Amino acid sequence: MQTVRWVIERDQAAADHPAVLRAAQVIRLGGLVAFPTETVYGLGANALDARAVAGIYRAKQRPLNDPLIVHVASPADVEALADLSGLRERAQALIARFWPGPLTLVLPRRPALPALVSAGLDTVAVRMPNHPVALALIRASGVPLAAPSANRFGHVSPTTAQHVLDDLDGHIDAVLDGGPTTIGVESTVLDLTCDPPRILRPGGVTREQLQAILPGVLPIAPVVAAAGQAMPSPGTSPVHYAPRARLIICRDTGELLRRREACLAQGRSVGLLLRADQRAACQACHPYFMLGDGLDEVARNLYAGLRALDALGVDDILVTAVPREGLGEAIADRLARAAAKTQD
Ligand code: TXA
Ligand code: MG
């Protein structure tokens, strides 16, 4: 299969833009189109078409027990996918505050939605992305889009169209290239079907922000799936978000420099993921990738950094831990999972 790349400026995005119209036609015919959201690129298919949804799992080599997020272009579209009775007030308060945006709500699934979207669970994960290209594509398609991150299963999520092609070229119909994503880590997944609601995956909306609306929200808990069963949120499994290289998380810059020397002494090649304030102390260390300053920039650049150092073929990637506060919770979560995978 030939994968087409359509470039579209985010401020040109509209449901009647030629690239969006062509992409929407592919979706309506049951094809697969990758598109930008504010978090990471998604791999979209018509959520109401079980065959199209099956194509997503195939292209990503994603296990069938790993449910997908359904993307909508308006809060009103949730009602057709999920049964809000009993939790309407909570859902609406969260939607009013955070949509469009990086919050995914896990809700009771309406039976009309193909079970494959939810990997057979009786719930469905829904979000309204805050990106003009994503919203234009959903509107032009006229259907909700099932869309996981547009990477090979288990790999680092894509934050540019080139990342998507690096993983999926030849396996999907098209990618809408709307430039790099702005948040850089995935949405927060919040389970509203339990009481109190529980965070299944930390992401772009922070725990502190959620607790300001719903004070009882529970932080993430470890998830274990029985063989063959759908996992409540398999993004919480350590096989996710992993680069090829070994990732080592250090407490501070001093430890980072010591570990680097130790790895080099073993004949291993080392790349560093650095924050701006570490540059002076690490001036002589190459290669490195600059994550920038502050948690927003670190989140935005993290996956590009992991991919860039991986592409250089380093054996080890060293990075300093971030505080588990605000967006730091999502960053620390992804770093820990990437490190866990490679220590197996
Ligand atoms: O930011 C994002 O969420 C991106 C963009 C494209 O929207 N999407 C994304 O999708 O990260 P994916 O498939 O890579 O991760 C979806 C996460 C997984 O951890 C999955 O287990 C969880 O959401 N999930 C989906 N449906 C669920 C459900 N019914 N119950 C519990 N967790 C669910
Ligand atoms: Mg993913």
**Tens of pLDDT along 110-141?**
999 999 999 999 999 999 999 999 999 999 99
Asked whether residue 158 carries a pLDDT value surpassing 70, the answer given is yes
The answer for 269, left when phi > 0, alpha when psi is -120 to 50, beta otherwise, is beta
Is 240 among the domain residues?
no
Does residue 188 have its Cβ closer than 6 Å to ligand 1? Answer: no
Ranking 108-117, 169-178, 217-226, 320-329 by mean pLDDT, the lowest is: 217-226
Nearest CA to ligand 1 atom 19: 235
145: number of Cβ within 10 Å: 27
Is 255 among the domain residues?
yes
Domain count, the chain: 2
What confidence tier does 220 reach under pLDDT thresholds 50, 70, 90? confident
Residue 257 shares a structural domain with residue 139: no
Residue 204 shares a structural domain with residue 305: no
Q: Kindly state the average pLDDT of the residues 49-60.
A: 98
Residue with tokens 């719903």: 214
Nearest CA to ligand 1 atom 18: 235
Is 285 among the domain residues?
yes
Residue 184 shares a structural domain with residue 307: no
Is 334 among the domain residues?
yes
pTM equals: 0.94
Is 262 among the domain residues?
yes
Is 228 among the domain residues?
no
pLDDT of residue 157: 96
Residue 26 shares a structural domain with residue 166: yes
Residue 184 shares a structural domain with residue 38: yes
Nearest to 257 by CA among 248, 311, 276, 245: 248
pLDDT of residue 343: 40
What percent of the chain has pLDDT above 90? Answer: 90
Q: What CATH number did the domain enclosing 26 receive?
A: 3.90.870.10
Residue 174 shares a structural domain with residue 253: no
**Tens of pLDDT along 25-38?**
999 999 999 999 99
Does residue 78 have its Cβ closer than 6 Å to ligand 1? Answer: no
Residue 44 shares a structural domain with residue 184: yes
**Closest ligand 1 atom to 147 CA:** 6
Does residue 69 have its Cβ closer than 6 Å to ligand 1? Answer: yes
8-state DSSP, 230: P
Residue 209 shares a structural domain with residue 270: no
Q: What CATH number did the domain enclosing 320 receive?
A: 3.40.50.11030
Is 254 among the domain residues?
yes
**Closest ligand 1 atom to 71 CA:** 7
Ranking 124-133, 238-247, 322-331 by mean pLDDT, the lowest is: 238-247
The answer to whether 116 touches 53, Cβ cutoff 8 Å, is yes
What confidence tier does 340 reach under pLDDT thresholds 50, 70, 90? confident
Nearest CA to ligand 1 atom 7: 42
Residue 36 shares a structural domain with residue 141: yes
Question: What is the Å distance from ligand 1's center to 42 Cα?
Answer: 10
Nearest to 133 by CA among 37, 42, 204, 45: 37
Distance CA 270, CA 259 (A): 10
Q: Taking the alpha carbons of 154, 156, 157, 161 in that order, is the dihedral positive or negative?
A: negative
The angle subtended at Cα 34 by Cα 30 and Cα 35, nearest 5°, is 120
Does residue 39 have its Cβ closer than 6 Å to ligand 1? Answer: yes
Strand, helix or coil at 103?
strand
Question: What is the Å distance from ligand 2's center to 185 Cα?
Answer: 10
Range(s) of the domain holding residue 152 = 4-213
